[in-house]
Amino acid sequence: MRSCAHPGRRSRLALLAWGVASILVAGRATALDVVTVDGKPLQLDVTETTIVAQHFDARTPPGQQYPGATTLEDSGWGEWINRLNATLRWGDWSAGLRLDSGLYWRRPAGNSSYASEYPSSYTTQIQQDNESRYQNTTYPAKLWATYASPGLEVTAGDSYVQFGRGLTLSMRKNDELGIDTTLRGAKVQFSKDPFSVTAVAGFANPSRVDEATGRTLFVTGNLVNGDQAHPEFGSDRVVGVDLQAGRGLPVTLSTHVVQFTRCAPYHYDAAGNIDTDLWRDPSTVMFATCDTADTYAWLNSLNPTPRGLEDHTITMVGQTLEIPSLGGHGKLYLEAAGQQRQSDIPGQTTNLSGNALYATLAFDVGATNTTLELKSNRNFYTVAASVGQASPEFAIVAYSFLPPAESFNMLDAEGTGDFNACVEGGRLREDVNVTKKLLVYGQGVFAYSQTEQPSGACDQYGHTIAPAGVASASVEDVVYDGVGGFEYTFDNHLSHVYGSAGARDDTRETGVFQYREQHFEYSIAKYLGGPWSLEIQGRDRRREEQTFNQDPSTATATTPAQSVWWYEGENYVALRMAPKWVFTQGFEYTTMIGQPRLYFNGAVLYKFTSRSNLRIFAGEQRGAFRCASGICRFFPAFEGARAELTLRF
């Protein structure tokens, strides 16, 4: 078994000194001078990002004897994360490498005080959890070479790719959520108006380390099976082509076909052990295997949810129609897609066809702007990365994307199921420019989901499928969501006041509520003269969700504890001295049972140049979902200090 022993004081100081030294060394780094080779300049671009963080020990929530085991799993540890990104450019050619490193200390599993201070059951849970966390690593996260000339671009190695709005293929980067998924293989783009062709083939390559939690996708131990080596990420292969016609014309059409194949990352022996010895099985260790038995063993070890995760082959087809200008006053976009899944896992071999339709229409009339989004998805699931059960933070990694047609800040209210897999609904927003300084808007969202409940499903025709003995109405949710707001600017657009408020109701067809919320958001910025400005922004929410925040005092001998309302929010004040300094103070709170109530923090941002900066944060932030670009993930509470240095040359 790999040791997770708590390092001694000297080791911790050495690791911390290493992280600090990396910042100092990075600060003295210089870019390679431009030289000329064969009459063309050779340029090296470097981005160096170094993060050093120390998590404090967990606080005990009000009314509890000690923190929960899950809280302890996320507390007390330290990390140094380094990302070195270098790109060499010469004429039409470029080549690059991103080298990621991670170093950890004071792992919770190695904290000897836990065994004496907390229940014995905590020790086993924390050890099991830490098996896939806090692994010291250095690996080439991204590498590529590209030839780009007018009308032709060829990339070997890592590249981002998306067809249409992403229903069939979307491999992209989202820094806010820690997602960075590329295709490692080949990408060819050829265009000659009005036509273009994009073809891709290769392996999915998500980032292997989650900076927020220290979780990794490298081979780990499994204490339940006697510390048996276990992979946390499979071998996902992608082949696709996108054909586009009408570039630059009034109507643009695009057709795309993509096939995803999930294979086993290693060979499994008869006892279920994987072979990770490079010398004994070099081809499989380097390139994985699509052997039927190995693939079955790997996929059978994954979670049955999200639905489709255990499918070995998924074929997607899509068609888009885009009218970029409707008489100069609007635009229209339509995309339809079909999905066919194949699986050998018992219980996953039926109902494998799905389809999706997405449309957006935007137009303006005088001072008004209208946006209408519609979605109709029937048994159509995002293609999730084949991630092991011990790495839940990576469950959001996917190779396709379903546009939510939803309020951007309400995606975390879509429940624990796969809300958009079987859904009908849309979003209508109206913006009115009352004056040059004042904009008011209103928005309404309606959705009917058959998969918000984890047990719900539908077929390709949209018919509800519920578990045996369960009424269909109990897995059907109807959602109404509304928001209104205004944006007012003054001081020659250097200052502003923004405000919005809204409510959401999510109720099952049986009449049982699933989720309710009222919320208020604000953002105020005041220019103070010279380089100074003051900004205040925040969001406050009142929420109630089925099976969440259950109050023990409401339980009786015959009824379980009831879910009750809770309040949460965050409010931040920032003082800016352009263009160098930003000073921030934050206050967050929650009344959720089992969580600390108040969280205070402060941060300083200093910009060396427009492209390089240092940010230091200290304090507390509550655990919460964060949403960006239509995707949400949960971030555990943070209490500690963090410094991030970014240098670009």
| Domain ranges for the chain | 1-149, 158-354
pLDDT (0 to 100) of residue 222: 67
Report helix, strand or coil for 29.
coil
Tokens (6 digits) for 577? 């001295």
Can you tell me which residue has the tokens 């190995």? 294
Tokens (6 digits) for 60? 């005990």
pLDDT (0 to 100) of residue 109: 85
Tokens (6 digits) for 444? 């309404």
Report the amino acid identity of residue 604: V
pTM value surpassing 0.75: yes
pLDDT (0 to 100) of residue 414: 63
Calculate ∠ Cα 424-429-432, nearest 5°. 170
- For 535-538, which contacts have Cβ atoms below 8 Å and span 24 or more sequence positions? 535/572, 535/573, 535/574, 535/575, 535/576, 536/571, 536/572, 536/573, 536/574, 537/571, 537/572, 538/569, 538/570, 538/571, 538/572
Reported as type and span, the H/E element at residue 24 is helix 9-27
Distance CA 592, CA 569 (A): 11
| Burial (Cβ within 10 Å: 0-12, 13-18, ≥19) of residue 413 | buried
| Residue range 83-128, pLDDT digits in tens | 999 999 999 999 999 999 999 999 998 887 777 788 888 888 888 8
pLDDT (0 to 100) of residue 406: 81
Q: Which residues pair with 521 in a beta bridge?
A: 500, 539
pLDDT (0 to 100) of residue 427: 97
Q: Taking a C-beta distance cutoff of 8 angstroms, is the pair 342, 351 a contact?
A: no
Closest-CA residue to 73 (of 188, 214, 210):
214
Integer angstrom CA distances of residue 563 from 411, 513, 551 = 21, 11, 6
| Residue range 266-322, pLDDT digits in tens | 999 988 889 888 898 888 989 999 999 999 999 999 988 778 899 999 999 999 999
pLDDT (0 to 100) of residue 305: 75
Tokens (6 digits) for 140? 């080439």
Cβ atoms < 10 Å from Cβ of 151: 11
Closest-CA residue to 515 (of 558, 563, 567):
563
Positions in the chain short of pLDDT 70: 1-34, 222-226, 408-411, 413-416
Reported as type and span, the H/E element at residue 548 is none
Q: Taking a C-beta distance cutoff of 8 angstroms, is the pair 476, 456 a contact?
A: yes
Q: Which residues pair with 613 in a beta bridge?
A: 607, 646
Backbone dihedral angles phi then psi of residue 605, each to the nearest 5 degrees: -120, 125
Tokens (6 digits) for 266? 């290693």
- Helix, strand, coil % over all residues of the chain, rounded to 5: 10, 55, 35
Report helix, strand or coil for 26.
helix
Tokens (6 digits) for 59? 């606080």
Integer angstrom CA distances of residue 559 from 552, 553, 555 = 11, 11, 6
pLDDT (0 to 100) of residue 308: 87
DSSP of 82-115, one letter per residue?
EEEEEEEEETTEEEEEEEEEEEEES-GGG-HHHH
pLDDT (0 to 100) of residue 409: 62
- Give the gyration radius of the chain's Cα atoms: 26
Buried b (16+ CB within 10 A) or exposed e, 450-465: bbbbeebbbbbebebb
Measure the CA dihedral 9/12/17/19, to 10°.
-170
Report the amino acid identity of residue 130: N
pLDDT (0 to 100) of residue 128: 84
Tokens (6 digits) for 93? 């050619």
Report the amino acid identity of residue 386: S
Cis before residue 404, ω within 30 degrees of 0? no
DSSP label at residue 5 = P
DSSP label at residue 57 = P
Distance CA 133, CA 4 (A): 10
Count of H-run helices and E-run strands, the chain: 6, 38
Distance CA 36, CA 38 (A): 7
For 160-312, where are the E strands, in sequence order? 161-163, 169-171, 173-174, 179-192, 195-206, 220-222, 228-230, 235-245, 252-263, 267-268, 274-275
